[in-house]
Structure 1
Amino acid sequence: MRRDRVSGVILAGGESKRLNGLYKPLLEVGGRPMILYSLEALRPASDEVLIVVRGREKADSLTGVVGSAARIVVEPDSPPRAPLIGLIEGARSAEGRTVLVAPADTPFVTPRVYEILDAELAGGDADAAVPTWPNGYIEPLVAAYRRREFLRAAEEVVSRGELRISSVLSLLRVKLVPVGALSERPEVTFLNVNTLKDLLLARRMMKDLGGAREVPG
């Protein structure tokens, strides 16, 4: 059986208020811009990778980093602004039946995470495969979605004036995948860089790992 086409979508958004307005995708961890880690995590499981960015200037700066390895999608520079809006733009521009989504600030997420999520989605009747923590917290921005079903639900949610991805998930058939099935050390794999403290921690961890994102057990 032929595998459905898969699109990877990286949410590269705008500046980070908690990092003094710095543009996170271009901040370096392990001597490399974080956007490259997201790109490398998605590529093995994806037939194409799109990067959703806000503003032409940022689009140009990312093109200079990723070259032809990804297609840049410029998000409308008008309200509302939220990760959900970026994901909608990416899904609209994608060609795949399945969309794998990645933030641009999770430098330790590995290709294995997306390969498993894609397989979980392909192997059942769910519309989304979303990592979940033992405490019930979910990772909807490191996930896999059926593109058409996601767009239908997301556009309905936005039409109601909502921007929460949890509201979208409530309209979908969701397969929750334990983070322990995706990584031996999920607290590392799913580390999200939001603050200067996070950035310094990520740099130290990458150095300790010798530049490799695969975390030893």
Structure 2
Amino acid sequence: MRRDRVSGVILAGGESKRLNGLYKPLLEVGGRPMILYPLEALRPASDEVLIVVRGREKADSLAGVVGSAARIVVEPDSAPRAPLIGLIEGARSAEGHTVLVAPADTPFVTPRVYEILDAELAGGDADAAVPTWPNGYIEPLVAAYRRREFLRAAEEVVSRGELRISSVLSLLRVKLVPVGALSERPEVTFLNVNTLKDLLLARRMMKDLGGAREVPG
């Protein structure tokens, strides 16, 4: 039975340019701040959860919402703005051998997703377990990574002046996990809220689910 320590990392530092600068993690879906949904999805499979933010003001706002359920990590103001940088900061601060990652704007992601990804990583010799769609598109920000191997590859990529997570994956042994193995309705589970249209859609979907985030699968 595995007992490597596992850390969950939520990326909550992105700019919301398509939402007029509103801070997405605190926008409400189903009457609750959106940050609470990925937090609840990660907690069953994680020994700790970290939330990576940019700026002390946002950190304080999130701390008031999540309380002791997560540890807040603040990105340096001088760091480039990119999801990869947030993931590096989270992995550096994490205590786990494995890092499970979630964006802050995924209100329908479920614990089952991370339990399966964690098991896929623990049961083989891959460095990363990443969901993949039938068309070949991948979900590297809803994934599981071996922390040490990820950091080694990520720091090499950044040292070359690159910020693409795909460049990091090219240096890792990656297990691709079909989204259909993670959810019966992956188009719901993996929904990202990037625009006002997405936000309104997420609110309608949550209402249709009766306020419950969990969807089949």
TM-score above 0.5: yes
Q: CA deviation at 1:211?
A: 1.3
Q: What do the CA deviations read for 1:89-139 (whole angstroms, capped 9, x no partner)?
A: 000000000000000000000000000000000000000000000000000
Q: CA deviation at 1:177?
A: 0.1
Distance 1:108 1:114 in 2: 13
Q: CA deviation at 1:78?
A: 1.7
Secondary structure (helix, strand or coil) at the match of 1:66 reads: helix
The answer to which of 1-10 and 109-118 deviates more is: 1-10
How high is the TM-score relative to the length of structure 1?
A: 0.98
Q: What do the CA deviations read for 1:38-93 (whole angstroms, capped 9, x no partner)?
A: 10000000000000000000000000000010000000112411000000000000
How high is the TM-score relative to the length of structure 2?
A: 0.98
Aligned partner of 1:52 in structure 2 is: 52
Distance 1:19 1:163 in 2: 23
Q: CA deviation at 1:2?
A: 4.6
- Is the Cα contact below 8 Å between 2:79 and 2:85 reproduced in 1? no
Aligned partner of 2:130 in structure 1 is: 130
Q: What do the CA deviations read for 1:8-61 (whole angstroms, capped 9, x no partner)?
A: 000001430000000000000000001000100000000000000000000000
Question: 4+ runs of 1 displaced by more than 4 Å?
Answer: none
Distance 1:180 1:96 in 2: 27
Aligned partner of 1:104 in structure 2 is: 104
Q: CA deviation at 1:214?
A: 2.3
Aligned partner of 1:9 in structure 2 is: 9
Q: What do the CA deviations read for 1:173-202 (whole angstroms, capped 9, x no partner)?
A: 000000000000000000000000000000
Secondary structure (helix, strand or coil) at the match of 1:13 reads: coil
The answer to which of 11-20 and 56-65 deviates more is: 11-20
- Stretches of structure 1 that go unaligned for 5 or more consecutive residues are none
The answer to which of 77-86 and 62-71 deviates more is: 77-86
Secondary structure (helix, strand or coil) at the match of 2:100 reads: strand
Aligned partner of 1:208 in structure 2 is: 208
Distance 1:175 1:167 in 2: 16
Distance 2:186 2:77 in 1: 34
Secondary structure (helix, strand or coil) at the match of 1:197 reads: helix
Distance 2:78 2:111 in 1: 33
Q: CA deviation at 1:3?
A: 1.1
Distance 1:216 1:92 in 2: 34
Alignment of 1:192-207 (within 5 A): 192-207=192-207
